[in-house]
Amino acid sequence: MSLRGTHLVGIRFTEADLGGVDFRDCTLEDCRLAEANLRAADFTGADLRGADLGELTIAIAAQFRGAVISPDQAAQICTALGLNVMS
């Protein structure tokens, strides 16, 4: 399925099978991706700053390669890697 370039608002993808979905250049605003199957989904250029990505582990973070994320989301990924983020 291709959602390329769309602006998605308020969609709850919790536990959805999104494997292989093309999210390139999408904006996900107030969307929830926690516990979704993201295997082989393409988030290149997607803006995920307004999305709830759930608990970000290393494996889950790798699925979002190429996406734009917020500083808070980046800090969660660093925490999953065992890094301490200081300002």
Per-residue confidence (pLDDT) for residue 56, from 0 to 100: 82
Residues 6+ apart with CB under 8 A from 50: 27, 28, 29, 30, 31
**Cα separation of 83 and 35, whole Å?**
23
Residue 55 corresponds to which amino acid? E
In this structure, the number of other CB atoms found within 10 A of the CB of residue 77 comes to: 19
* pLDDT tens-digit map of 34-85: 999 999 999 999 999 999 999 888 888 889 999 999 999 998 888 888 898 7
pTM of the prediction? 0.89
- 47 beta partners: 27, 68
Q: Is the distance from CB of 22 to CB of 42 less than 8 angstroms?
A: yes
CB-CB contact of 70 with 87 (8 Å):
no
Helix (H) or strand (E) holding 52: strand 47-52
